[in-house]
């Protein structure tokens, strides 16, 4: 099993460009989530999903869209990138809704110029 | 904003010294989890505490969950250079579906 796979690992965008961060897990986990990590701010929840077809907003959802068409995939879309979205993004999945460990991907480092 | 507060933000110790990080929540938590992130890496699950007053040990690491289930601590005895990293606590918000992380404590251990 590969666990949680994120692509790309690094990306540089110009302000206003759009892109999608991909996340896939092969553990048949129902719960998936996206976090961003900024220096001194810890991990902040962007969006999460409790199953295919169900998504909800986290603490910092503005500027990001998500969808969950399959159990395996949970892409994060930036429609019009801004410098404030420069960050490291982590995708995570877990078997249960409020129990059990989160499995994290290796992260995607995004720079918006 | 974040409802799980963690202190200190940074800690620098000499190898062999003890280390403790504290986590406090404004609301009662159903459970609390601890993660470790090595520099340049991703968070890795350490443990989950569920019961009021629970204490769990993993070798030199001791985890505690407060009686009111609003606070927790991680204590490392006799730190080693391999303990370097950022330690996060995390608890579920009221909805039960969103894991809320503290800002983490970055531990630096010098030999």
- Mind listing the pLDDT tens digit for each residue in B75-87? 999 999 999 999 9
The overall average pLDDT reported for chain B is: 93
Contact assignment for B42 to A90 by CB distance below 8 Å:
yes
A86, exposed or middle or buried, with CB in 10 Å at 0-12, 13-18, 19+? middle
Contact assignment for A97 to B96 by CB distance below 8 Å:
yes
Listed in order, strand segments (DSSP E) in B9-80 are 10-14, 19-25, 32-37, 44-49, 55-58, 61-65, 71-76
Q: Please work out, in degrees rounded to the nearest 5, the angle formed at the alpha carbon of residue B86 by the alpha carbons of A26 and A64.
A: 55
B95: pLDDT strictly greater than 60 = no
Contact assignment for B2 to A59 by CB distance below 8 Å:
yes
B68: pLDDT strictly greater than 90 = yes
pLDDT at B42: 97
- B63–A contact, CB cutoff 8 A: no
CA atoms within 13 A on the CB side of B34: 30
In tens, the pLDDT along B13-65 reads 999 999 999 999 988 888 899 999 999 999 999 999 999 999 999 999 999 99
pLDDT at B66: 96
Question: In chain B, pLDDT over 90 holds for what percent of residues?
Answer: 82
pLDDT at A97: 62
CA atoms within 13 A on the CB side of A16: 0
Contact assignment for B99 to A107 by CB distance below 8 Å:
no
For B9, which residue in chain A has the nearest alpha carbon?
A: A40
What string of pLDDT tens digits covers the 113 residues of chain A? Answer: 789 999 999 999 999 999 999 999 999 999 999 999 998 888 999 999 999 999 999 989 999 999 999 999 999 999 999 999 999 999 999 987 666 789 999 999 999 99
Contact assignment for B97 to A43 by CB distance below 8 Å:
no
For B43, which residue in chain A has the nearest alpha carbon?
A: A104
Query: Which residue in A40, A98, A107 is closest to B96 by CB distance?
Result: A98
């Amino acid at each position: 099993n590969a666990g949680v796979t994120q692509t790309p690992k690094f990306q540089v965008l110009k302000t206003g460009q759009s892109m999608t961060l991909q996340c896939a897990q092969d553990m048949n986990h129902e719960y998936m989530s996206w976090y961003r990590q900024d220096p001194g701010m810890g991990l902040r929840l962007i969006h999460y999903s409790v199953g295919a077809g169900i998504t909800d907003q986290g603490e910092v959802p503005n500027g990001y869209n998500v969808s969950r068409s399959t159990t395996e995939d949970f892409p994060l879309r930036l429609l019009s990138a801004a410098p404030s979205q420069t960050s490291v993004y982590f995708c995570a999945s877990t078997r249960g809704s409020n129990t059990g460990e989160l499995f994290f991907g290796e992260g995607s480092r995004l720079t918006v110029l | 904003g974040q409802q799980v507060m963690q202190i200190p933000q940074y800690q620098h110790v000499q190898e062999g010294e003890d280390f403790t990080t504290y986590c406090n929540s404004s609301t009662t938590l159903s459970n609390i989890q601890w993660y470790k992130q090595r520099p340049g890496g991703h968070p890795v699950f350490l443990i989950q505490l569920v019961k009021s007053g629970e204490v769990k040990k993993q070798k030199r690491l001791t985890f505690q969950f407060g009686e009111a289930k609003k606070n927790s601590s991680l204590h490392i005895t006799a730190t080693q250079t391999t303990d370097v990293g950022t330690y996060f606590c995390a608890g579920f918000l009221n909805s039960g579906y969103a894991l809320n992380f503290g800002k983490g404590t970055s531990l630096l251990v010098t030999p």
